[in-house]
Amino acid sequence: MLTRTVFRPRILNFNRLLHSSSRINRQLFDPSTVERVSEDVDVCIVGAGPAGLSTAIRLKQLEQKLGKEFRVVVLEKGAEVGSHILSGAVIEPRALDELLPDWALRDDHPLTQSATSSHMRFLTKSLSIPIPHPPQMSNQGNYIVSLSRFAAWLGNIAEEMGVEVYPGFAGAGVVYADDGSVAGVRTNEVGLDRLGCMKESFEPGMEFRAKVTLIAEGAHGSIAKELIQNFDLRRNSDPQTYGIGLKEVWRVDPTQYRPGEVVHTMGWPLDFRTYGGGWVYHMADGLVSLGLVIGLDYANPYLSPYKEFQRMKHHPYFAQLLSGNSTRVAYGGRSLNEGGLQSVPQLYFPGGALVGCSAGFVNIAKIKGTHNAMKSGMLAAEAAAAVLSQDSSSGPADMSKYETALKNSWVWSDLNEVRNLRESFNTPLGIWGGIMYSGIDSLLLKGRTPWTFRNRARLTDAQHTQPAYRFRPINYPPPQPPLSTDLLTSLTLTGTNHAEEQPVHLRVRKDGIEDTTLRKLHVQRNVSEYAGLLQRACPAGVYEYIEDETAADGWNGHKLVINSQNCIHCKLCDIKVPTQDITWTVPEGGGGPKYSEYLLLIVSAGMVHLILSLSSHYLTVYDSAV
Ligand SMILES: Cc1cc2nc3c(=O)[nH]c(=O)nc-3n(C[C@H](O)[C@H](O)[C@H](O)COP(=O)(O)OP(=O)(O)OC[C@H]3O[C@@H](n4cnc5c(N)ncnc54)[C@H](O)[C@@H]3O)c2cc1C
Ligand code: SF4
């Protein structure tokens, strides 16, 4: 695994030389006067997920082929590669086969559990009815993996090939050249206090100036958001739409464990107006990943994704699965793209491009995006290598060839075939219309239709939210451990941590403005019109609208408390808040969930469990022999 000691000495030395001076202690930080260390690289990739790491690995392969040398840097906001990646995923190995054809021969590969069967079930409150699953959902030849471990494994390979991977370094902003093109990214400051003053530990961010900048932040990245807006990359596409995925990992009782089984559910606990469904993946090592995805175009502000998920586990199907000697070992949440082909923005901008879920290549009919994210990274690497092989004085990198290559690749046909399925749920026929249309399309038409459903009204998920007065509050049952628990108990299983006394990274900000008037308006509208949606929607309990008698004069008797240290970086608030005035920014590098660490603990716990069971087995044999 990559460590700070191995990867950071040069950078940290620069910082210490220039900035660790007690003179600046506790002064207000002023970004316009800061002196930043700058590093020149060929390619700077933001995000060490499957997309960013496949890009880096392909660049190093091309370097060998072309006989050139490329300096490739990957920045990752998680403390370790994979620590912010949630998905307990079923992945198609198609892109991996192309990237590393010999992957199965590598001793340490994490694809140890193949998918052996796939089922689909429709749930009513008490029944679980098997239904035929569309051909796209067949998982033959696929693998059930921890995506976090998969990313860590790719990170090791990239590092062995000479890529510089810097976990704990978040891309915090874009560095623009004088001509307005993208010249790289800057990392975030560390050592600021809550008021933005410099502590003794202060180190300014540094600039990575790159000939090609590739953004691989996953769904709804903060840098991608800025670039899509600044370069109007969405002018010919529909708005991106999202789902929130909440997941738990359980070590289940051996009688309930069926390694390789993949199950998807529809129906209960969601009502007929809400898009979504559940999953159960029986992974390796006695572990089961289960969860619920809910489309963020839901209308009812009283809906709580967390509580829907908790009550889902009380359905007889899940209660049986989690019965006996079963223990919950992990919890997490993350947004994923649902917009599909119609929502893919222009992929390139002057100086770089968007790869993976930063652009949005999830095939939502399959609930899979990893294969497409990896392939897009590989194609971006090929275009970047071509750019780097040209005369460098010819202006900012033109990555348009990457978009052409992607549109001619199997990623595009993968998305094209299912392009109408998700969007069919947004017609006047609602969820039932969507189920009927997508059944016919996926079984018979297979996307070979002359029409494409578009989001012509350009409605975002936030705009789908309706005022609270149109709904009755949802009466969720109280948690009943061990099947369901309160949110803060679950949160302890994410390993989330943010350095204390740092500026709140969830900003009440709109159009660059951040002041008391805006905050007041936020509280007023969110409390009175949307019943404080965020305090139910955030899967980490970050937002609270607290009654406050002193908050008169436009505050609607409430104040907003943001418990930013709980944030698990799912990006829901930025996407769903009806007033569109919450901006998720990167916290100090390394803060956030620690999914991989928890999985390592689980796997080690599994090893201990195995050793204990084996030793007790031998002891029993020995006893009976005696
Ligand atoms: C609940 C859920 C279930 C899913 N199930 C499946 C499945 O079964 N099969 C499947 O194939 N796909 C699945 N997906 C989709 C899959 O996770 C994505 O398609 C895939 O991870 C995309 O890869 P990526 O590299 O583009 O982004 P990510 O995997 O999200 O990686 C992005 C990386 O960039 C880092 N990052 C973000 N912003 C910054 C920044 N500013 N600076 C530095 N680092 C940054 C993040 O910490 C992260 O490590 C699922 C997704 C979710 C949320
Ligand atoms: S604060 Fe926002 S990004 Fe963080 S966990 Fe809550 S909804 Fe997700």
Return the residue whose CA atom lies nearest to atom 2 of ligand 2. 573
User: What pLDDT, on a 0 to 100 scale, did the predictor assign at position 25?
Assistant: 63
The per-residue pLDDT of the chain, averaged, comes to 89
Confidence of residue 392 (pLDDT cuts 50, 70, 90): low
pTM of the model: 0.92
Torsions phi, psi for 42 (to 5 deg): -80, -50
Give the Å distance between the CA of 178 and the centre of ligand 2. Answer: 35
- Is the pLDDT at 588 greater than 90? The verdict is no
For atom 1 of ligand 1, which residue has the closest CA? 245
Q: Of ligand 1's atoms, which has the minimum distance to the CA of residue 376?
A: 26
Instruction: Give the list of residues 6+ apart from residue 2 with CB closer than 8 angstroms, or none.
Output: 80, 81, 155, 156, 159, 165, 167
Q: How far apart are the first and last CA of the chain?
A: 46
Residues annotated as part of the active site: 87, 334, 370, 538, 567, 570, 573
Ligand found nearest the CA of 569: 2
* Ligand 2 atom index nearest CA of 569: 3
* Cβ partners under 8 Å of residue 128, min gap 6: 121, 122, 265, 315, 316, 317
d(CA 576, ligand 2 centre) in Å: 10
Cα of 82 from ligand 1 centre, angstroms:
9
- For CA atoms 246, 251, 256, 259, the dihedral sign is positive
Those residues whose C-beta lies under 8 Å from the C-beta of residue 224, and which sit 6 or more positions away, are: 215, 217, 354, 358, 359
Residues 506-526 have pLDDT tens digits of: 999 998 899 999 999 999 999
**Could you tell me if the CB of 41 is within 6 A of ligand 1?**
no
pLDDT of 603 > 60? The answer is no
Ligand 1 pocket mutation, candidates 242, 343, 370, 588, criterion most atoms within 8 A of CB? 370
Pocket test for ligand 2, best of 567, 569, 583 (most atoms within 8 A of CB): 567
State residue 615's pLDDT score. Answer: 37
Per-residue pLDDT band for 605 (boundaries 50, 70, 90) equals: very low
CA nearest ligand 1 atom 17, residue: 87
Ligand 1 neighbourhood includes 594 CB (under 6 angstroms)? no
Are residues 442 and 136 in contact, defined by beta-carbon separation less than 8 angstroms?
yes
**Tens-place pLDDT, residues 554-585:** 787 899 999 999 999 999 999 999 999 999 99
The CA 562 to ligand 2 mean position distance, Å, reads 10
CB 541 within 8 A of CB 563: yes
Question: In the predicted model, is pLDDT for residue 348 greater than 50?
Answer: yes
Are 279 and 265 in contact, with CB atoms under 8 Å apart? Answer: yes
Q: How many whole angstroms from 375 Cα to the centroid of ligand 1?
A: 14
Is residue 147 in contact with ligand 1, taking CB distance under 6 Å?
yes
pLDDT number for residue 545: 96
Q: Which ligand is closest in space to the CA of residue 535?
A: 2
Q: How far is the CA of 490 from the centre of ligand 1 (A)?
A: 21
Return the SS3 of 207.
Answer: strand
Which one has a higher pLDDT value, 615 or 380? 380
What is the C-alpha separation between 59 and 43, in angstroms, rounded?
9
- So what's the architecture of 43-112+146-238+341-412 in CATH? 3-Layer(bba) Sandwich (3.50)
User: Which residue lies with its CA nearest to atom 3 of ligand 1?
Assistant: 87
Kindly give the distance from the C-alpha atom of residue 147 to the centroid of ligand 1, in angstroms, as a whole number.
8
Residue 387 has pLDDT above 80, yes or no: yes
Cα three-residue angle 451-454-458, rounded to 5 degrees:
165
* Residue 537 contacts residue 304 (beta carbons within 8 Å): yes
pLDDT at site 310: 98
Separation of alpha carbons 586 and 3, rounded Å: 21
Q: How far is CA 361 from the centre of its chain?
A: 13
- Select from 584, 586, 595 the residue to mutate for testing ligand 2; criterion: most ligand atoms less than 8 Å from CB: 584
pLDDT tens digits for range 119-157: 999 999 999 999 988 777 889 999 999 999 999 999 999
Q: CA 13 to CA 20: how far, in whole Å?
A: 10
pLDDT at position 24 is: 56
148-168 CB burial, b ≥16 within 10 A, e <16: bbbbbbbbbbbbebebbbbbb
Cα separation, 313 vs 395, in Å, equals 56
Give the tokens for residue 272: 């007929």
Residue 465 or 548, more confident: 465
Q: What ligand has the least distance to the C-alpha of 491?
A: 2
User: Is residue 22 predicted with pLDDT exceeding 50?
Assistant: no
Q: Which residue's alpha carbon is at the smallest distance from atom 4 of ligand 2?
A: 567
Closest C-alpha residue for ligand 2 atom 6: 538
Q: What is the pLDDT of residue 535?
A: 97
**Does residue 305's CB lie within 6 angstroms of at least one atom of ligand 1?**
no
| Shortest-distance atom of ligand 1 to CA 90 | 8
Q: Which residues have a Cβ under 8 Å from the Cβ of 438 and sit 6 or more positions away?
A: 134, 365, 420, 421, 422, 424, 425
Compute the distance from residue 220 Cα to the ligand 1 centre, in Å: 10
Asked if residue 107 has pLDDT above 60, the reply is: yes
CA distance 266 to 255: 25
* Arithmetic mean of pLDDT, 175-190: 96
Say which ligand is closest to the CA of 336. 1
Position 554 scores a pLDDT of: 74
Residue 258 has a pLDDT of 98
- C-beta of 145 in contact with ligand 1 (< 6 A): no
Please give the number of the atom of ligand 1 that sits closest to the Cα of 586: 41
State yes or no: cis peptide before 269, omega within 30 of 0: yes
Mean pLDDT to the nearest integer, 338-355? 97
State the average pLDDT over residues 167-189.
96
- Tell me the backbone φ, ψ of residue 90, rounded to 5 degrees: -100, 120
- CA of 93, nearest ligand number: 1
Averaged over 250-267, what is the pLDDT? 97
- Taking the C-alpha atoms of residue 504 and residue 57, their distance in angstroms, rounded to an integer, is 35
Q: Where in the chain is the domain with CATH 3.50.50.60?
A: 43-112+146-238+341-412
The three-state DSSP-derived secondary structure of 489-528 is HHHHHHCCECCCCCCCCEEECECCECCHHHHHHHHHHHHH
If one residue of 336, 364, 567, 575 were mutated to test the ligand 1 pocket, choosing by the most ligand atoms within 8 A of its CB, it would be: 336
Q: Residue 508: what pLDDT? A: 96
Sequential DSSP letters for 263-310? EEEEETTS-TTS-EEEEEEE-STTEEEEEEEEETT---TT--HHHHHH
On whether the CB atoms of residues 582 and 537 are closer than 8 A, the answer is: no
- Cα of 478 vs centre of ligand 2, distance in Å, is 23
- For ligand 2, residues with CB inside 6 Å are 506, 538-540, 542, 567-573, 584
Cross-strand partners of 246:
292, 333
